[in-house]
Structure 1
Amino acid sequence: MECKKDRNLTNCNCSYPGCDNKGICCDCLIYHLASRQLPACCFPDDVERTYDRSFKAFAKAWKL
């Protein structure tokens, strides 16, 4: 499967400056799930900027 990094970057809201996985969704997802987190794209922009990618932050952001 071909990576669509350029297309993915148009929708990627990751604000972490040193992110090596920006636009590479499969690697990003693997990285965050291994850390028991969710990637930036699962969060509204204001919550994403806190860098708290926990499941708890996700539930709070979406009021689940």
Structure 2
Amino acid sequence: MKCNKEKNLENCTCTYTGCPKQGICCECIRYHLKSRQLPGCCFPKDAEKTYDRSFEHFARLVAQKKV
């Protein structure tokens, strides 16, 4: 499968500018799931900036109806 990195970057909301996985969604997801996290694109803008990508943080946001 060919990666659509340039197209993915158009919608990538990750604010971690040094990340080598930006635009390579399959690597990003694999990386975060290993650490019981979700990628930044799963979070609202203000929550993504905290860099707390944990499942627990995501669950709190869902409970607060922010996601």
Residue of structure 2 in register with 1:41 after alignment: 41
Alignment coverage as a number of residue pairs:
64
Unaligned 5+ runs, structure 2: none
Residue identity (%): 59
CA distance in 2, matches of 1:44, 1:2: 28
Q: TM-score, normalised by structure 2?
A: 0.89
- 2:12 and 2:45 map into 1 onto residues whose CA distance is 10
**What 5-or-longer segments of structure 1 have no aligned partner?**
none
- Shift of the alpha carbon at 1:46? 0.5
Task: Report how far residue 41 of structure 1 moved.
Answer: 0.8
- Report how far residue 63 of structure 1 moved: 1.9
After superposing on structure 2, the runs of 4+ consecutive aligned residues of structure 1 that deviate more than 6 Å are: none
2:24 counterpart letter in structure 1: I
Counterparts of 2:59 and 2:8 in 1: how far apart (Å)?
24
1:8 corresponds to: 8
Root mean square deviation, CA, Å:
1.1
Deviation at 1:59, TM superposition (A): 1.1
**TM-score of the superposed pair, with normalisation by structure 1:** 0.93
